[in-house]
Amino acid sequence: MQIYENICFLSSNCLSFVSSFLFAEMIIFKTKNKLSSYLFHLPTQTSIGFVPTMGALHKGHLTLIEKAKIDCSVVICSIFVNPTQFNNKEDFDKYPNSITKDITQLEKINCDVVYTPAISDLYAENEQANHYDFNGLDKLIEGKFREGHFDGVATIIEKFFGIINPKKAYFGQKDLQQLLIVKSLTKKLNLPIEIIDCPTIREKNGLAISSRNKLLNKKQLETATLLYNSLLFCKDNKELYSIEKLKTLIQKNFSEQNDVRLEYIEFVNAITLQSISQFKAKDKNAICIAAFISGVRLIDNIIF
């Protein structure tokens, strides 16, 4: 009764916070203003964990949220397909959307808050991505094939960080270059946000789980295992063949398959993403791959 009487005197924002706290209900915000108002009413010591996603949620995303739940007192997941990071309109248009299923999955794992803004909530009309100087990091690997992609990623992450101001933000190693760009952005802007790396979650056959896998049928998904198998082959044979030779072998293997096109396989330093000509035992190495499987572009990497 005491609690109830007190609640009656609270504002509606505060009320939604208190009721979510008492009944552990997930709260969905569609606008940054409502989300900001909710955040403003949280106790100052609240540690906020943030997981940005583009939806079509899968086990990979859910693992990030589960990790954030362990570390933080309030976990916010955003679902937003960010237009400025797509350099191909068709790719943007056909990006999978399963918002109802996403919400159910987030409820099941007790995510606290979901932010699902419309484009107009985050971008003014005709607003473009900002331009950032990442000392060339954004021009390597993916950057060579997706011009402006990382400016788009950094633009939306800067906006999200500005609204949410999380203590920790969680990113998958599956998008290794994105993870490094976000770390670089955070450092550049001097933000007190810890960026947490999360390992790539895979299907039993090794295929990295991705929202884009939903665009493939069963047979195409089987073909898509070629990406991870190529990475494993290179890692397992690194003593036997030179990097040059490994590249040639992978290119040849792809050219012999139907309905696939290798865009790149790159051997790099896992921190700087600079190309390497030899694996170095003292450094972290990474092999990154991008390929089209029946027209769907997939990426993967292995770090060792």
Site for ligand AMP, rule CB under 6 A: 53-54, 60-61, 64, 171-172, 174-175, 198, 200-201, 208-211
- Residue with smaller CB distance to ligand AMP, 56 or 234: 56
Among 206, 161, 162, residue whose Cα is nearest residue 170? 161
The helix/strand/coil state of 303 is strand
Full DSSP string of 91-145: HHHT----HHHHHHHHHHTT--EEE---HHHH--TT--------TTGGGSTHHHH
Count of CB atoms situated within 10 Å of the CB of 10:
14
Least distance from ligand AMP to the Cβ atom of residue 56, Å: 7
Least distance from ligand AMP to the Cβ atom of residue 121, Å: 18
Longest CA span, the chain: 74
- Residue with smaller CB distance to ligand AMP, 167 or 247: 167
Least distance from ligand AMP to the Cβ atom of residue 110, Å: 18
Q: 41, 58, 61, 131: which one is catalytic?
A: 61
Kind of pairing between the strands at 194-198 and 168-172: parallel
Least distance from ligand AMP to the Cβ atom of residue 58, Å: 7
Is residue 61 flagged as an active site residue? Answer: yes
- Residue with smaller CB distance to ligand AMP, 149 or 174: 174
The helix/strand/coil state of 80 is coil
Count of CB atoms situated within 10 Å of the CB of 149:
21
Kind of pairing between the strands at 285-293 and 296-303: antiparallel
- Residue with smaller CB distance to ligand AMP, 65 or 234: 65
- The strand pairing partners of 195, in sequence order, are 169
How many angstroms from the chain centroid is the CA of residue 294? 23
Least distance from ligand AMP to the Cβ atom of residue 85, Å: 9
Active-site positions read 61
